[in-house]
């Protein structure tokens, strides 16, 4: 009788442990810069950041962070069992940039993706460094890195440095 | 009985308040980061840190375990007993070009489990690794200082809506609306500033002169009309009549001229303000061809 009771207790303890382990939820805090950004966890909107004291189950999760004027961010995270997980996301702004040239017959390419051959073009570029390549009659004549650190205009000149007014 | 229990609880609480959390810090960095230990000690003088460089391979490939939180419970407990610490703090920093990844794990030596984890992937900034470590440790202790946060935010690009410029096109437009040419001067466009000021000043002066002439013509016309009506002298009648007729013609000419000049002045004034806005100060960067010449950038 005593051994049956012991076995029963053991079974209850094991079941409880397994149940708690399978349903374990981890405390989740999400902080973003800038604040007040929509945070989606596995497609479900958690609300505006900062997210404090949210719960998350261990396993693979996908975070998506979206705000107008900033590059959207998606982040896959394997959440391991721990008491708390704190995530910081830094969103990179998108700046409106004008690219102008008075040189004739040039074709510009940025980041190996976008090409244009008009004297003035408006672009929306993520803040940071971008690769600029310049072509003339099908040949590459220049390649350099430009830094987009604010909404601004770029004026491109061939060799001869000019002074602006 | 109740009072003595409360007293014991109160003493226990005071005792626990005075307990400084003790940490065994294991720093696994792929590059040497100077003064990390000193920074942690200085930033959290209410905590005790013990640093150990020799414990290296225990937590290797932690993520390969099904349950990393409880994968090393026995070792954590042993280390806790051996070093007499409450927590084990494992900080891993890996550098990748201009970024670094901080993976921070905090283990409780009493339970042996992982209680807190923080992963951060960030662009390098001045003393960034130390700052991020201090923020992470501060986070586990519930301490965050504003300057740590500000230091981190200093590397981030500004929100376009929050960027403030010293000079703006609107500032130029308003200035030109007050004094023609001022907005252009504010935008360092000296020639157009002088041209606009000169044109507007000339138009305004011409308008004032036309108005004054118109006013004089009206006054003279009324005067000569009265004199014409008041006299019977043939010669004077003829003189006042011809004078009044001349004043009448002048008043019409100056009236039309004043209206035209007023319109031109007003239109020019508004145009000058619009010009100041269109050619107002905006940030720019001049890019010069690098290939075949020395690189040069000019910013404004």
Residue A32 CA to residue A38 CA, distance in Å, equals 10
How many A×B Cβ pairs under 8 Å?
118
Residue A49 CA to residue A73 CA, distance in Å, equals 14
| Contact call for residues B50 and B22 (beta carbons, < 8 A) | yes
Residue of A nearest to B282 (CA): A152
Q: Which of B117, B130, B64 is nearest to B87 (CA)?
A: B117
- Specify the length of chain B in residues: 300
Closest in A93, A160, A165 to B159, CB measured: A93
CA dist list (Å): A158 to A105, A148, B290: 11, 20, 8
Query: What distance in Å separates residue A144's CA from the closest CA in chain B?
Result: 7
Q: Which of A79, A20, A88, A60 is nearest to B114 (CA)?
A: A79
- Which parts of chain B register pLDDT below 50? 1, 8-18, 294-295
Query: What distance in Å separates residue B12's CA from the closest CA in chain A?
Result: 26
B292 and A87 within 8 Å at the Cβ level: the answer is: no
Closest in A80, A86, A142 to B290, CB measured: A142
> A10: which DSSP letter?
H
Q: What is the pLDDT of residue B211?
A: 95
Residue with tokens 């929306």: A124
Q: Band the pLDDT of A14: cuts 50, 70, 90.
A: low
The DSSP bridge pattern shows strands A84-90 and A26-33 to be parallel
Q: What is the pLDDT of residue B11?
A: 46
Residue of A nearest to B123 (CA): A90
Q: What is the pLDDT of residue A102?
A: 92
Q: Which of A126, A102, A157, A90 is nearest to B297 (CA)?
A: A157
Q: What is the pLDDT of residue A16?
A: 56
Q: Which of A114, A113, A95, A106 is nearest to A155 (CA)?
A: A106
pLDDT digits over A15-50, tens only? 655 554 555 678 888 888 888 888 999 999 999 988
Residue of B nearest to A70 (CA): B159
B67 and A81 within 8 Å at the Cβ level: the answer is: yes
Maximum Cα interatomic distance, chain B, rounded to a whole number of Å: 134
Q: What is the pLDDT of residue B119?
A: 77
Beta bridge partners of A106: A136
Closest in A142, A150, A154 to B158, CB measured: A150
Q: Which of B141, B39, B119, B131 is nearest to A31 (CA)?
A: B119
Residue A65 CA to residue A48 CA, distance in Å, equals 10
CA dist list (Å): B254 to A127, B105, B204, B248, B264: 60, 88, 14, 10, 15
Query: What distance in Å separates residue A62's CA from the closest CA in chain B?
Result: 15
Task: Write phi, then psi, for B176 (nearest 5 degrees).
Answer: -70, -25
Q: What is the pLDDT of residue A122?
A: 95
User: Is the predicted pLDDT of residue A108 greater than 90, yes or no?
Assistant: yes
pLDDT-wise least confident of A133-142, A152-161, B200-209, B230-239: A152-161
Within 13 Å, how many C-alpha atoms sit on residue B148's CB side? Answer: 17
Q: What is the pLDDT of residue A73?
A: 82
Residue of A nearest to B163 (CA): A150
Phi-psi region at B106: left, alpha or beta (left = phi > 0; alpha = psi -120 to 50): beta
B285 contact A CB<8A: yes
Residue B245 CA to residue B250 CA, distance in Å, equals 9
User: Is the predicted pLDDT of residue A84 greater than 50, yes or no?
Assistant: yes
pLDDT digits over B67-77, tens only? 766 778 888 89
Residue B140 CA to residue B117 CA, distance in Å, equals 9
Which overall architecture, per CATH, does domain B20-156 show?
Answer: 3-Layer(aba) Sandwich (3.40)
Domains of chain A: 24-90 (2.60.40), 94-156 (2.60.40)
Residue of A nearest to B62 (CA): A80
Closest in A77, A149, A163 to B157, CB measured: A149
Query: What distance in Å separates residue B136's CA from the closest CA in chain A?
Result: 10
Residue of B nearest to A153 (CA): B284
Residue A10 CA to residue B206 CA, distance in Å, equals 107
Phi-psi region at B142: left, alpha or beta (left = phi > 0; alpha = psi -120 to 50): left
B122 contact A CB<8A: yes
What is the token pair recorded at B7? 């007293």
Query: What distance in Å separates residue B193's CA from the closest CA in chain A?
Result: 12
A155 and B163 within 8 Å at the Cβ level: the answer is: no
Higher pLDDT, B112 or A154: A154
Q: What is the pLDDT of residue B238?
A: 92
B282 contact A CB<8A: yes
Query: What distance in Å separates residue B275's CA from the closest CA in chain A?
Result: 15
Residue B3 CA to residue A149 CA, distance in Å, equals 66
| DSSP calls for chain B | -HHHHHHHHHHHHHHHHHPPPEEEEEEEESS--TTHHHHHHHH-TTSEEEE-SS--STTTTGGGSS-GGGTTHHHHHHHHHHHT-SEEEEEEEEEETTEEEEEEEEEETTT-SEEEEEEEEEE--TTHHHHHHHHHHHHHHT---HHHHHHHHTTSPPPGGG---SS-HHHHHHHHHHSTTHHHHHTT-HHHHHHHHHHHHHHHHHHHHHHHHHHHHHHHHHHHHHHHHH---HHHHHHHHHHHHHHHHHHHHHHHHHHHHHHHHHHHHHHHHHHHHHTS---EEEEE--TTS---EEE-
User: Is the predicted pLDDT of residue A165 greater than 50, yes or no?
Assistant: no
Q: What is the pLDDT of residue B244?
A: 93
Q: What is the pLDDT of residue B226?
A: 92
């Amino acid at each position: 009788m005593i051994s049956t009771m012991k076995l029963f207790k053991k079974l209850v303890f094991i079941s409880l442990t397994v149940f708690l382990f399978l349903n374990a939820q981890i405390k989740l805090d999400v902080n973003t810069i800038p604040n007040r950004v929509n945070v989606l966890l596995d497609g479900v909107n958690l609300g505006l950041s900062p997210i404090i004291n949210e719960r998350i189950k261990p396993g693979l999760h996908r975070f998506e962070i979206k705000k107008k004027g900033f590059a959207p961010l998606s982040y896959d995270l394997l959440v391991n069992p721990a008491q708390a997980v704190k995530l910081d996301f830094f969103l990179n702004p998108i700046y409106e940039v004008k690219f102008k040239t008075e040189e004739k017959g040039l074709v510009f390419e940025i980041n190996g993706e976008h090409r244009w051959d008009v004297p003035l073009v408006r672009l929306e570029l993520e803040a940071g460094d971008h690769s600029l390549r310049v072509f003339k009659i099908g040949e590459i004549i220049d390649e350099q890195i430009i830094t987009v650190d604010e909404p601004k205009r770029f004026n491109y000149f061939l060799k001869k440095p000019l002074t602006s007014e | 009985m109740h009072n003595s229990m409360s007293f014991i609880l109160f003493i226990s609480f005071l005792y626990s308040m005075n307990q400084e959390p003790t940490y065994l810090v294991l720093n696994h960095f792929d590059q040497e980061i100077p003064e990390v230990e000193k920074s942690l000690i200085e930033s959290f003088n209410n905590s005790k840190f013990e640093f150990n460089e020799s414990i290296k391979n225990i937590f290797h490939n932690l993520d390969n375990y099904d349950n990393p939180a409880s994968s090393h419970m026995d070792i954590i407990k042993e280390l806790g007993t051996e070093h007499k610490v409450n927590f084990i703090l494992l900080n891993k920093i890996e550098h990748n070009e201009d970024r670094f990844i901080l993976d921070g794990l905090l283990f409780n030596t009493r339970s042996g489990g992982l209680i807190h984890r923080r992963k951060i992937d960030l662009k390098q900034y001045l003393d960034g690794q130390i700052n991020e470590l201090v923020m992470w440790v501060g986070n586990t202790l519930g301490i965050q200082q504003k300057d740590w946060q500000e230091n981190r935010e200093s590397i981030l690009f500004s929100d376009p809506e929050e960027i403030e410029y010293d000079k703006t096109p609107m500032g130029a437009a308003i200035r030109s609306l007050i004094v023609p040419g001022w907005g252009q001067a504010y935008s360092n466009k000296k020639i157009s500033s002088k041209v606009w000021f000169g044109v507007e000043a000339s138009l305004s002066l011409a308008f004032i002169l036309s108005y004054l002439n118109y006013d004089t013509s009206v006054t003279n016309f009324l005067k000569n009309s009265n004199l014409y009506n008041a006299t019977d002298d043939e010669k004077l009648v003829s003189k006042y009549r011809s004078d009044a007729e001349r004043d009448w013609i002048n008043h019409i000419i100056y009236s039309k001229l004043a209206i035209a000049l007023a319109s031109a002045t007003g239109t020019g004034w508004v145009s000058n303000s619009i010009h100041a806005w269109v050619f107002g100060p905006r940030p720019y960067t001049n890019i010069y061809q690098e290939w075949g010449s020395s690189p040069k950038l000019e910013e404004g």
